Chains A and B, each alone.
Chain A
Amino acid sequence: MFDTLNYLLAGFAAAATPTNLLFALIGCFLGTLIGVLPGIGPAAGTAILIPLTFQLDATGAIIMLAAIYYGAMYGGTITSVLINVPGEAASVITCIEGHAMAKKGRAGAALGIAAIGSFIGGVVATVLLVVVATPLSKLALSFGPPEFFALMVVGLVLVTSLAGESLLAGILMTVTGLLISLIGLDPVRGAPRFTFGMPELYDGLNFIPVVMGLFGIGEILATAEKPYREVIRTNLKGLIPSRDEWRRSMGAIWRGTGLGFFLGLIPGVGAIIPTFMSYILEKRLSKHPEQFGTGVIEGVAGPETANNSYANGAMVPLLTLGIPSSPTIAVLMGAFIINGLTPGPLLFQERPELVWAVIASFFIGNVLLLILNLPLVGLWAKILEIPYQYICAGTLLFCIIGAYSINQSIFDLWVMLGCGIIGYLLRKLNFPLAPLVLGLILGPQIEKSMRTSLEMSAGDFSIFITRPLCASLLALAVAILAFAALHFAPKEIRDPNAD
């Protein structure tokens, strides 16, 4: 224990040099910028900035890259709250509550709590990283394809919480999302499905243009419908969360931290799932779940914290085993490697001073982000006071560049427009969008993990029941389903007798 502390202190000393602090600051700034620009997600943005770091020494380069990584997580939040465009995939859920808050004039509070929650989540997760990294990583390895499948099923079953008024509509949207996600090359055999002969569809519909269309463009069309757009004035009160909001957020923040970190330990989970789970958890635990969707602060606090805590948690399999948990982290790993830091079990032994300096810089990065972003919250909120036409023009161009820049593909733009129109129609009709997105995310994972599990067992279905962790998760899913059925059934039965 003392050794660890010693190393950590030495790490702080190394990371806190003026030069390295400067790099961290630049990294946070660049990262936030990347997060704000849609389409160029943290993965691509980090990759693009890799050559920038060639001029720096290894420690400085890695500190800057890690800072870029966190900054990008937060940058995605800004656009979600302000203009309902998810800057990166994980920010989708923030569009739902965060933007609703912005429309009520509380954009500042939303951004503020996101910054604070991210800070707490990040710092606590880093502490956990220091303390429990090695033993927990072994545990995470036992999560194989069957367990993954079970986890996704649990996630799917939880969609009943996102359904809102009509359970039928909610499930319908989930099924639609699942179906859409199946477009493309079948993951196991490679046979094209629903692709109508277009190679652009072989990988399915790209997620970012779809959500940018559903949320961003859908929102623009819906707003253009109204004749007079009152400028949202944010007074000082709107910038800071109220006492009541603080109270409600705190619980969400702590729960989000735990959820994000532990899901981060499991390689392959991706950043979207912790944020969705946190949102669902908060809705479940809330005393007024029907308010979710109108701008409830714990709906921002929880997911945003989970997001950042996940980002740190995902560092555990990277640093201890050399396994990247998501494409973004894979890029980070590549960047580490190019700079001579080879993640993996030997890292702590061969270059402890470097690793601990990096871990120390995780702390510093989180602090810097908070310092950078909190004062700017007021500035960001002021952007909403620009006359709407300019915001609209800027947002649309944003979306065009963003969707195009992922694969330099015009096809993605058409997808985005199509989803925009669909998003507008769904919005008009009050169909819930969240279950659709959940279906879209979980679909490929569920099918792939199930069929991979069957490949492993040579077609034997009992693999799902004989493995203890998998079986328990499936039992959990059944329990949740039963509970939801009981919860909803009485109303349906009561309906025909209602006046």
Chain B
Amino acid sequence: MRLLRLAMSVTAVALVAALGSAGASAQQYPTRPINLIVAFPAGGSTDIGARVLAGIAEKMIGQPIVVVNKGGAGGQVGWTELARAKPDGYTIGFLNLPATNTTILDPDRQAIFNEGSFTPIANQVLDPGVIWVAANSPYKTLKDLLDAAKAKPGTVRAATTGILSDDHLAILMVEEANPGVSFRIVHLLGGAAQMKETLGGNIDVSFDNVGGIVPQVKAGQVRALAVMDTERSKFLPDVPTAKELGMPTVISSSTRGIAGPKGMDPAVVKKLQDVLVKAMADPDHIKRLEDAGLAIKPMIGDEYVKYFNETHEKAKKYTEWAKKEKK
């Protein structure tokens, strides 16, 4: 009986201590661990970038930053969770543009969040889109590829990493910029499947992002035909941009950035931004992401908001096209 009472008092003390830690003001933010939602299962490139950043940023901000994997439905489950969280600064998460945008825009997905549901805080990575083929492919330049796709429309097999991914939209952009060109689009699941099928000869050309192919390019196993960015990638300095090859509208990339639910306290947002910028500039962070072939492109505050809106507009056009054509 005495032991039972002792157990009860211990529990009571623990309860009081735990209760005391709830509730804080922006001045002292953060006073408890911060949850960082990654909308994909552990181990993907978003997750790895997130863990590296979290590991460095938490030392600077003084509280643990816990990466919470909430995968499912290509990210929709995690973003739903983020949109529904309390905007107190203790739940933030990664947005993947344009995947987040297409999820909002695709009526079949019935997303409960929209472009106004988030507070963009800071972008971390911008991975430009790239068009690539296996090394033994007959297509030596982008022109070869486009000629073939125009000569025999619907026969050149082009792979994406998923329906309505940035790769998918990029294919549509290329088709739009080159009337008469038509690909046979094959939706695979993820970069690994793409690599395998292209090297195995089941796919003629793949649309992916730079970060996914750097090792194989260096090994001479694959050939990148064009990078779909405004400037050349420092990981692939010899590869021309689509702009250089006469297609200035073909700009596509996948970005990963941190956002919170809408309605966050600007002071809290500012504090997070300061810490994240510092963490992203940390040499350890830079080195590890570079090793992974991921280009860091910090965009803070309004710059990120603007980028979000631009990406959304662009995605809208191509998503509607994709749905209409059932591609």
The answer to whether any beta carbons of A and B sit under 8 Å apart in the complex is yes
A residues near B, CB below 8 A?
43-44, 46-48, 50-51, 54, 141-145, 184-185, 187-192, 197, 199-200, 202-203, 267-268, 317, 321-325, 327-328, 330-332, 334-335, 337-340, 342-346, 406-409, 448, 452, 455-456, 458
Interface status of B232 (Cβ within 8 A of chain A): no
Which of A145, A187, A343, A407 contacts B69, CB < 8 Å? A407
- Known contacts A144-B200, A456-B202, A337 near B291 by CB under 8 Å: yes
Interface status of B8 (Cβ within 8 A of chain A): no
Please list 25 pairs of residues, one from A and one from B, whose beta carbons are closer than 8 Å in the complex, sorted by A's number: A46-B43, A54-B284, A141-B196, A144-B197, A145-B202, A190-B164, A200-B77, A202-B73, A268-B196, A321-B216, A321-B221, A322-B195, A322-B216, A323-B199, A331-B42, A331-B43, A334-B48, A337-B293, A338-B48, A342-B214, A342-B215, A344-B218, A406-B69, A408-B69, A452-B187
| Contact call A342/B164, Cβ cutoff below 8 A | no
Which of B201, B214, B219 contacts A345, CB < 8 Å? B219
| Contact call B163/A458, Cβ cutoff below 8 A | no
Chain A residues, CB < 8 A from B109: 190, 192, 202
17 additional contacts, CB 8 Å, given A44-B42, A47-B51, A332-B43?
A44-B69, A46-B42, A54-B284, A141-B196, A143-B200, A144-B201, A190-B163, A192-B110, A202-B72, A203-B71, A321-B221, A331-B43, A337-B292, A344-B219, A346-B215, A409-B70, A456-B157
- Residues 167 to 190 of chain B near chain A (Cβ within 8 Å): 184-189
| Contact call A267/B187, Cβ cutoff below 8 A | no
Interface status of B41 (Cβ within 8 A of chain A): yes
Chain A residue at minimal CB-CB distance from B185: A455
Chain A residues, CB < 8 A from B154: 458
**Most central of A142, A189, A199, A334 by chain B CB within 10 Å:** A199
Q: Cα distance A54–B140 when bound, in Å?
A: 40
How many chain B residues touch A (CB < 8 A): the figure is 60
| Contact call A188/B187, Cβ cutoff below 8 A | yes
Which of A185, A190, A323, A330 contacts B196, CB < 8 Å? A323
Whole-angstrom distance from the CB of A415 to the nearest CB of chain B? 13
Interface class of chain B by DSSP:
mixed
| Contact call A199/B200, Cβ cutoff below 8 A | no
| Contact call B215/A455, Cβ cutoff below 8 A | no
Whole-angstrom distance from the CB of A162 to the nearest CB of chain B? 28
| Contact call A199/B112, Cβ cutoff below 8 A | yes
| Contact call A338/B69, Cβ cutoff below 8 A | no
- Residues 197 to 220 of chain B near chain A (Cβ within 8 Å): 197, 199-203, 214-216, 218-220
Q: Cα distance A202–B288 when bound, in Å?
A: 33
Chain A residues, CB < 8 A from B218: 344, 346
Q: Cα distance A86–B16 when bound, in Å?
A: 38
| Contact call A408/B70, Cβ cutoff below 8 A | yes
| Contact call A202/B76, Cβ cutoff below 8 A | yes
Question: What sequence of 0s and 1s flags, for each residue 276-315 of chain B, a beta carbon within 8 Å of any chain A beta carbon?
Answer: 0000000010001001110000000000000000000000
Chain B residue at minimal CB-CB distance from A144: B202
| Contact call A141/B199, Cβ cutoff below 8 A | yes
Chain A residues, CB < 8 A from B201: 141-142, 144
Tell me the total A-B contact number using a CB cutoff of 8 A: 165
Interface status of B166 (Cβ within 8 A of chain A): no
Chain B residue at minimal CB-CB distance from A45: B42
| Contact call B71/A407, Cβ cutoff below 8 A | yes
Q: Cα distance A43–B293 when bound, in Å?
A: 21
Chain B residues, CB < 8 A from A199: 72-73, 76-77, 80, 110-112
Q: Cα distance A436–B202 when bound, in Å?
A: 32
Question: What sequence of 0s and 1s flags, for each residue 64-103 of chain B, a beta carbon within 8 Å of any chain A beta carbon?
Answer: 0000111111101100100000000000000000000000
Q: Cα distance A190–B47 when bound, in Å?
A: 23
| Contact call B219/A145, Cβ cutoff below 8 A | no
Chain B residue at minimal CB-CB distance from A407: B70
Whole-angstrom distance from the CB of A310 to the nearest CB of chain B? 17
Q: Cα distance A190–B163 when bound, in Å?
A: 7
Chain A residue at minimal CB-CB distance from B198: A141
| Contact call A334/B203, Cβ cutoff below 8 A | no
Chain B residue at minimal CB-CB distance from A200: B77
Whole-angstrom distance from the CB of A22 to the nearest CB of chain B? 23
- Known contacts A43-B41, A344-B216, A321 near B187 by CB under 8 Å: no
Q: Cα distance A448–B162 when bound, in Å?
A: 12
| Contact call A456/B203, Cβ cutoff below 8 A | yes
| Contact call B200/A190, Cβ cutoff below 8 A | no
Q: Cα distance A422–B187 when bound, in Å?
A: 35
Whole-angstrom distance from the CB of A89 to the nearest CB of chain B? 13
**Most central of A43, A343, A408 by chain B CB within 10 Å:** A408
| Contact call B200/A334, Cβ cutoff below 8 A | no
Q: Cα distance A344–B216 when bound, in Å?
A: 6
Which of A188, A334, A409 contacts B43, CB < 8 Å? A334
Closest 10 CB pairs of A and B: A331-B43, A202-B73, A47-B42, A344-B215, A141-B200, A144-B202, A345-B219, A346-B219, A203-B72, A44-B42
Chain A residues, CB < 8 A from B42: 43-44, 46-48, 331
Q: Cα distance A190–B111 when bound, in Å?
A: 13
Chain A residue at minimal CB-CB distance from B38: A47
Chain A residue at minimal CB-CB distance from B54: A51
Whole-angstrom distance from the CB of B322 to the nearest CB of chain A? 10
Chain B residues, CB < 8 A from A331: 42-43
Q: Cα distance A407–B72 when bound, in Å?
A: 8
Chain A residue at minimal CB-CB distance from B73: A202
Q: Cα distance A458–B108 when bound, in Å?
A: 24
Chain A residues, CB < 8 A from B52: 338
Whole-angstrom distance from the CB of B59 to the nearest CB of chain A? 11
Q: Cα distance A15–B214 when bound, in Å?
A: 28
| Contact call B215/A343, Cβ cutoff below 8 A | yes
Interface status of B45 (Cβ within 8 A of chain A): yes
- Known contacts A54-B55, A199-B112, A321 near B195 by CB under 8 Å: yes
